[in-house]
Amino acid sequence: MSQQYHGFYVRSRRAIPGILLKWGSRRDLVSFCASCSSFSKSAFLWTVVFFVGVSGNTDAVHQDKEKNPSIEELVTTVRPSVVTIRHTGRGGQDAGLGTGFVVSSDGLIATNLHVIGEARPISVELSDGRVLDVTEIHATDQIADVAVIRVEADDLRPLPLADAGSLRDGQEVVAIGNPYGLERSVVVGRVSGKRTIDGMEMIQLAIPIESGNSGGPLLDRSGKVHGVLTLKSQVTRNLGFALAVDRVQGLLRNPNPVLIHRWLTIGQLDPTEWLTVGGGLWRQRAGRILVSGEGKGFGGRILCLAREALPTLPYEVTVQVKLDDTSGAAGLVFAADGKDKHYGFYPSNGRLRFTRFDGPTVYTWKVIEDVNVPDYRVGDWNHLRVRVEEDFIRCFVNDQEVIVSTDRNLRAGKPGFVSFRGTEAKFRRFFVGDEVPRLYPDEAVLEHIEKITSGFQEIDPRNGTVVDFLAEVGPTTVSALELKAHSLLRQSEQLQILAGQVHHHQVIEQLSETVDVDDHTIDMFRAALQIASLDNLELDYEASLADLERLSSSIKVRLPQKADDVTCIRMLDKVLFEELGFHGSRGDYYNRSNSYVNEVLDDREGIPITLAVLYIELAKRLGVQVHGIGFPGHFLVRFDSSEGHSEWIDVFERGKRLTYENLVERLSEQTGEVLNESHLEVSSSREILSRILNNLLSIAIQEKDAESMLRYSDAMVVIQPDSARSRFLRMLTARQLNHFETVKKDARWLLAQQPSGIDLVMVKRLLQALEADSDK
């Protein structure tokens, strides 16, 4: 193709490189050069760039003018590749709407993970009006909130994906989505910059991202996708964010497909344990039961009832509940007949309500009590408890009795949960019994805490007598009240820190008990949960252990009687990797969530060591022994069959089998070493737990998070008390945080043990300095 001259522009190479000074025709260039001749040598400090045809040296400034289509042309071109994604509730009604875009002609569509929800039927509406059911969740990235889904089609028009990092600040971009149900709406804006949000690099846009835009493409003027629209700014409405498209490219390279029929069972309640009534979506996750959706009957009422047999009167029912919408209504039910009759005790619009339902309509609904309860914590977890006696029903909030009723119309029936008006809520720690656990602190504990925080009593700011009194005290009363408020805020912050330290101490004590047994009898999953709990005050060990047992039971029931170990392992692989899509974390490997086994179990995504713990523990529950192998840089598991052969399994790669030759090649590529038996030694339980902690320590060191480093070092010393490296690291970290007793304890241990590889002279000087300070 012959090159045609189109024009030129001139840039300064001295003052501000890259700033456009002039551009124009050939005649303009001749005039410009003539005018520069008087500048002598300084003329050489200008760069002249010529524009030629397609194969010439072109610039983005000129491309925008000469090659890119207009916005109207661009939208016409790309709209057939943008789809509307719907997930449906009970009865087939729309329960959500979002956007996606085609990434392959044979049916792959990219979107946000939150758009498709979980355990919901999903459909895709194309621009030509066709509606296709999703047949497979092709790949997911929980941390990045991105997913690729599949529909049965072979004639779709994919959008081209841009190269990573090719989007410039200030560049004009186009967003297409379905805000508020307005399908395939177009917004034009510019790139404001790159921002890190929750550890993820996001593209910041001068574009409003509204409900329904999520999952849509962010396009440049040539029609290439640079990002997935995902987040609305909380600061201003005309600001949004998109996830860089390289996360989609990673999913396309390494999918973790889950067929839709299996996807619909993820988080599903066990029907032998629970009965749901009235519709809605009830799911189980991380030891909690979650509800969303609305029933068709009066008040949008939906129920989830426990099938367990009730004890005889008197009995108690309790649960902790948290409402996503403070104006909503959700809580406990009891004496339910499995249809329309039951009692309810629940928060509604911030008040506590005790009701009786005698049927399906408003005329059969009776509000027995509706009270304002100061002990109810709006927007937080609240402990609801009901005690059912022969003559009374007593209702408690956070262990404070708030209602006593003599209503005796209902006594027999099931307990459980209720949600009204589509309220989304979470339930945890549900108990039924003669007397259920009290979750609120007892009087003895409260007395101890009161001694620490004494000096302040609750004040009702609406009390006119108090207001009148303080108004007459003097002109500085307002300043005095503000000073007291700041003081109490500081005390509140200190109490939060103290709560975290007490929690840490309790977890370390529990971890110590778990590992204080022979190595082969350590409950490794419980210990890994306790490690995760170091960073999560709300983690419920027993609930996560129950989730693990539930998963192992779902595998067991599919095994033939007297199944051999090979059959058990093949079924474990089938369920874990093929059906549930467990996989290695691709785009955010060093996120701490990948080291928390409870989140790995929930999100079906992790790193080699945590996926290995899950695999080993599930195999153990199937009666099969699987060993952890501390292969350099990438933890593996080994299965030794009763038939005498061994398999090395890469759980990060969805159970891929590796040969000895594969291991030789992998080690050579990674380290240049020659494989020997030491590289394939079986790791003990303590070594596996230490490896989890080492991963967390590495992240904390990289992030310069000394508080986390100290937590992880404490746990490391519990698991490996003879590790000089762990003692030394904890000593240095404790010194940084002024935890001098820990510093002295570890320094004395190191000086007594005299381990090699530790600067003992420095340790001795540090100990002497601290002891000298304490003597002053």
pLDDT band at 6 (very low <50, low <70, confident <90, very high): very low
Residue bearing the bigger pLDDT, 469 or 587: 469
If we measure between CA atoms, which residue out of 54, 61, 149, 59 comes closest to residue 104?
A: 149
DSSP states of 636-682 as a string? Answer: EEEEE-TTS-EEEEEGGGTSEEE-HHHHHHHHHHHH-PPP-GGGGPB
Query: What are the tokens at 353?
Result: 């309500």
> Which parts of 183-279 are beta strand (E)?
185-197, 200-205, 217-219, 225-232, 240-244, 258-259, 274-277
Q: Between these two residues, 495 and 6, which has the higher pLDDT value? A: 495
What pLDDT score was predicted for residue 530?
A: 97
With a pLDDT cut of 70, the percent of the chain lying above it is 85
Across the range 366-389, mean pLDDT stands at 93
- At which residue do the structure tokens 């068709």 appear? 296
Q: How far apart are CA 321 and CA 587, in angstroms?
A: 34
Instruction: Say what the pLDDT of residue 627 is.
Output: 96
According to the model, what pLDDT value does residue 3 have?
37
What's the pLDDT tens digit per position in 710-743? Answer: 999 999 999 999 999 999 999 999 999 999 999 9
**What b/e sequence results for 119-146 when a residue is b if at least 16 CB atoms lie within 10 Å of its CB, and e otherwise?**
bbbbbbbbbeeeebebbbbbbbbbbbbb
And the tokens for 414?
Answer: 């099931």
CA dist., res. 380 & res. 329, Å (int): 14
How long, in residues, is the chain?
776
Helix (H, G, I), strand (E, B) or coil at 460: coil
- Residue 347, classified by CB atoms within 10 Å of its CB into exposed (0-12), middle (13-18) or buried (19+), is buried
Exposed, middle or buried: residue 594 (CB in 10 Å: 0-12, 13-18, 19+)?
buried
**Which pLDDT does position 67 carry in this prediction?**
65
Cα 697 to Cα 717: distance, rounded to the nearest angstrom: 13
Amino acid 309 reads A
Q: Vertex 368, ends 366 and 370: CA angle to 5°?
A: 110
pLDDT in tens, 168-221: 999 999 988 875 555 667 888 899 998 887 778 889 988 777 666 789 999 999
Rounded to whole angstroms, the Cα distance separating 581 from 575 reads 8
Determine how many CB atoms are found less than 10 A away from the CB of residue 29.
19
pLDDT band at 91 (very low <50, low <70, confident <90, very high): very low
How far the first Cα of the chain sits from its last, in Å, is: 87
Find, among 719, 731, 702, the residue nearest to 507 by Cα.
Answer: 719
Return the higher-pLDDT residue of 458 and 635: 635
What does residue 599 show for φ and ψ, rounded to 5 degrees?
-75, -35
Examine the pLDDT at 29 and tell me if it is beyond 80.
no
